[in-house]
Amino acid sequence: MTDAKELRQLIAGQWSAGSGQRVASVNPTRPSVVVAEGNSATVNDVDCAVTAASEAGKAWARTPMHLRGAVLLEAAAIVDSNALPWGLELATEEGKTKAEGVGEVRRAAQILRYYGNEGDRQAGEIFASPRAGEQILVTRKPIGVVAVITPFNFPIAIPAWKIAPALVYGNTVVWKPATTVPLLALRLTEALTAAGLPAGVLNLVIGDSPIGEALIGHAGIDAISFTGSTAVGRDIAATAAARGVPVQAEMGGKNAAVVLDDADIGLALDQVMLGAFRSAGQKCTATSRLIVTEGIAERFLDQLATRAQALVVGDPTDEATQMGPVITGAAQRNIYGGLGSAINDGVEVLAGGQPYFKGLLAEGFFVAPTVVEVTGRADIWTEELFGPVLAVRRAADADEAFTLANDSEFGLSAAVFTRDLARALDAVEHIDVGVLHINSESAGADPHVPFGGAKKSGLGPKEQGGAAREFFTYTTTVYLRGGS
Ligand code: UN1
């Protein structure tokens, strides 16, 4: 007897059971419990989905942007009104706490609203012409059929921030979510369908990497928006480049928090804890490195270790829980494997580091909130583990701290804690990241401003705000003169 939800595919406006191999998502807190299951899509389904998206594209591109936006606004209302039940489902399927799950569903609604309202904003630009009797218009047109590939860690917010702009600018979408979180993908798709999205404009294909590969390699795809690992992102970009298809790839991070001597210690502790351990550290924007200057290092690290040890780890649907499990057994093994090598390399464990041996914490995919201090080079300082593990180094002064913050092939986000405005301005100038927080944690994004990384963290145009418009449209420069 199971009350697992049945997975379905949406192709050309038709929901179907799919005929590929069996896929299931499990509750990472109690891995014997299946949350959603069903058949995956097949390569033929991908083909049908791309064809449907292509056919639906003609009418959708001609639909006034105001009306496209109205569908997103209606979907936002549906998503918002389901924030509690879907947030709970999200916590059950993904493992982040219920508060974070509910917050994420509301955030998806906010993103849908932002892009829904885009339907009534500026649609292009007009420039003066050097020639008499002429104006130069720059108009925007959709690029076509967009393949959207999304990760497990934000099962509804990341899909919303890719799909909403794609749709409002007149594109059609074939979406492949992570198979670990298909339930929330169904919820978002159902909301958009119920809001009146025409058949074929959004197609959902659920499946593992062969389905992703079929989608990326399909000749009918005009653009790809991907969030996930750097290795997969680079493969996708290589495939896409060979066919001249634009890619927006949001990839790894190894984000530093820098705490300088003059920081407000209480504030910095609160924010570093949130950055490192919220969502069990499974955000590309999570704080996975910490750099503390000598003057406060001892005191700060003592208090941080105490707080990490006191963090309430458990079932994410319990109100008291502050951190849930990681997504899969494989992720858990990978994190503990990385920690094991770090310990062999001689790092000092300040908190956590050991697996749990009894009760729910041993049954589920839990990883203890861990803080380790690194003195020389170590993989744990450079490799993304995507879990609740914080690697710490001390720096003599702010200059050395900023140099250490840049000591990464990634450049997604960073956080700097200081009350000295001059130091904050130095950080803006010297730290090479796409998102910089002064006195707040390294994670977070807003729909109206660009989001994405520098260095190896991102490829192609950034996401959200005006950046999304750049990616999801192309411009036509129109030289406009009267006919006589
Ligand atoms: C956030 O920090 O709230 O996969 C968003 C990720 C990022 C999104 C982070 N693309 O974690």
What are the Cα distances from residue 277, in Å, to 177, 281, 335, 371, 387? 24, 5, 14, 10, 8
Mean pLDDT of 126-148: 97
Q: Tell me the average pLDDT across 289-306.
A: 98
**Nearest 5°: CA angle at 138, between 137 and 139?**
110
| Ligand 1 nearest-atom number relative to CA 228 | 4
Q: How far apart are CA 460 and CA 237, in angstroms?
A: 9
Residue 448 contacts residue 165 (beta carbons within 8 Å): no
Tell how far the Cα of 178 is from the centroid of ligand 1, in angstroms: 15
CA-CA distances (angstroms) from residue 384 to 154, 290, 353? 17, 14, 16
User: What is the per-residue pLDDT across 438-452, written as a single tens digit (0 to 9) for each?
Assistant: 999 999 999 999 999
The DSSP annotation for 136-204 comes to: EEEEEEE--EEEEE--SSSTTHHHHHHHHHHHHTT-EEEEE--TTSHHHHHHHHHHHHHTTPPTTSEEE
| Residues 362-392: tens digit of each pLDDT | 999 999 999 999 998 899 999 999 999 999 9
Residue 230: phi and psi, rounded to 5, are: -65, -40
Residues having CB within 6 Å of any atom of ligand 1 = 151, 153-154, 158, 227, 250, 283-285, 443-445
Give, to the nearest 10 degrees, the angle between helix 421-430 and helix 398-405: 30
77 CA to centre of ligand 1 in angstroms: 23
For the chain, give me the number of helices (H) and strands (E)?
16, 23
Q: Tokens 């892009």 identify what position?
A: 115
Instruction: State the DSSP code for 280.
Output: G
Other C-beta atoms lying within 10 Å of the C-beta of residue 134: 12
**Type of residue at 91:** A
The number of the ligand 1 atom at minimal distance from the alpha carbon of 282 is: 11
Distance 104 CA to ligand 1 centre (A): 11
Closest CA to 315 of 276, 274, 275, 280: 280
Q: Ligand 1, residues 283, 386, 412, 459: which to mutate, most atoms within 8 A of Cβ? A: 283
**What's the pLDDT score for residue 1?**
38
Q: Which atom of ligand 1 is nearest to the CA of 443?
A: 2
Q: For residues 337, 342, 346 and 348, what is the CA-based torsion angle, rounded to 10 degrees? A: -100
pLDDT at 2: 57
Q: What percent of the chain has pLDDT over 70?
A: 100
State the number of CA atoms in the 13 A half-sphere of 357 facing the CB: 2
User: Mind listing the pLDDT tens digit for each residue in 1-50?
Assistant: 357 899 999 999 999 998 999 999 999 999 999 999 999 999 999 999 99
- 51 CA to middle of ligand 1, Å? 31
Atom of ligand 1 nearest to the CA of 442: 2
* CA-closest residue to ligand 1 atom 5: 444
Q: Which of 206, 264, 288, 238 is nearest to 23 (CA)?
A: 206
Q: Distance between CA atoms of 132 and 82, rounded to whole angstroms? A: 56
CB 366 within 8 A of CB 313: yes
Q: Label residue 359 left, alpha or beta by phi (over 0 means left) and psi (-120 to 50 means alpha).
A: left
**Euclidean distance between CA atoms 105 and 155, whole angstroms:** 9
d(CA 222, CA 470): 14
Interacting residues of 368 by C-beta distance below 8 A, sequence separation 6+: 313, 351, 352, 353, 354, 355, 356, 388
CATH number of the domain located at residue range(s) 255-438 in this protein: 3.40.309.10
Q: How far is ligand 1, taken at its centre, from the CA of residue 352, in Å?
A: 24
Nearest to 5 by CA among 181, 248, 259, 213: 181
Tell me how far the alpha carbon of residue 140 lies from the centroid of ligand 1, in angstroms.
Answer: 28
Q: What ligand 1 atom has the least distance to the C-alpha of 283?
A: 11
Measuring from atom 3 of ligand 1, which residue has the nearest CA? 444
Question: Half-sphere exposure of residue 403, counting CA atoms within 13 Å on the CB side?
Answer: 8
Residues 200 and 378: their CA atoms lie apart, in Å, by 49
User: Which of 162, 284, 287 for a ligand 1 pocket mutation test, highest count of atoms within 8 Å of Cβ?
Assistant: 284
- Torsion over CA: 238, 224, 472, 45 (sign): positive
Other beta carbons within 10 Å of 447: 22
- Decide if 420 contacts 262 (C-beta within 8 A): yes
Average pLDDT score over residue span 49-67: 98
What is the reported pLDDT for 364?
98
pTM as predicted:
0.97
Rounded to 5 degrees, what are φ and ψ at 420?
-100, 115
Residue 96 DSSP SS3: coil
Q: What is the pLDDT of residue 3?
A: 79
| Residue 391: per-residue pLDDT | 98
Domains of the chain, residue spans: 5-251+457-480, 255-438
- Only one residue has tokens 């190894």, namely 254
Query: What integer is the mean pLDDT of 288-296?
Result: 98
pLDDT of residue 296: 98
250 is catalytic: yes
Q: Tokens at residue 389, please?
A: 């593990």
* Stretch 159-174: mean pLDDT: 98
Give the Cα separation of 28 and 26 in Å (integer).
6
Q: Which of 104, 149, 153, 436 to mutate to test the pocket of ligand 1 (most atoms within 8 A of CB)?
A: 153
pLDDT at 283 over 50: yes
326 in Cβ contact with 387 (< 8 Å)? yes
**Candidate list 100, 250, 441, 463, residue with the active-site label:** 250
Q: Locate 96 and state its tokens.
A: 């982040």
**Mean pLDDT over the full length of the chain:** 97
Residue minimizing CA distance to atom 6 of ligand 1: 284
The answer to whether the CB of 482 falls within 8 A of the CB of 133 is yes
Domain formed by 5-251+457-480, architecture: 3-Layer(aba) Sandwich (3.40)
The pLDDT value recorded for residue 20 is 96
